[in-house]
Structure 1
Amino acid sequence: MDVRKFFRSFNFAMQGIFTAAKEQNFRFHFLSAVIVIIAGLLTGLTIMEWLILIIVISLVIGAEMMNTAIERVVDLASPEIHPLAKDAKDIAAGAVLVFAVSSVIIGLLIFIPKWF
């Protein structure tokens, strides 16, 4: 294994995270994750609950990053408005919405019994 190549790839991945962090929706999801983590620390979650939350947070943020990548590629491939380009962007955004709504439901299932 070429160690330099490995670390260069890691650097590209970090650049991707920093690029995505400039997007408004990414920042919203990241802020939501921070709030959930603080709530989890104050609530005293079990290891299993933390595992679930970490997976859910990672899926939502990862989905948002994939959505951003799809939007960028579609904008590059189709700078003018095209119905298929719109569909691709809408479907990718819809996937993020599915993850986000599911994560809220999972969060409620974890936190509400502990709070009430």
Structure 2
Amino acid sequence: MAVVLSKDLKPTDIKHRFSFPSGSLQYVDFAGEFSADLRVKDSSGEVRVIRCRKRARDYAKPELSKGWRKYVTDYELRVGDRAVLLAEEDHRLGSQFRMEAKRRIILLGQEVWGDLPRAN
């Protein structure tokens, strides 16, 4: 599995859409379009369709839009949590990616990132 992106969430990521660095675009097949529907398996094993869009201008800043807010709600994500998108072909489920939600915790005086289970 290759890490496509790992980002600590900001208010805009939680409330509207999840923007991420354009260097991660190499993993998304847009087929000449400005958006692509990604089949993403979450940590509970559910396959979700999340739309990835990019700008049509010189700087193709990508973002996850349709389907992203449902993921935020289902995992009760908040500012400061981390979203990790991994490239993972699961032919059985037909998914292209795996999404993990993480929260910072202090364990025995050390900062670690714990996996968030689906809340809803």
Which of the five TM-score ranges fits, normalised by the shorter chain?
Answer: under 0.3
Q: TM-score by structure 1 length?
A: 0.23
Q: TM-score, normalised by structure 2?
A: 0.23
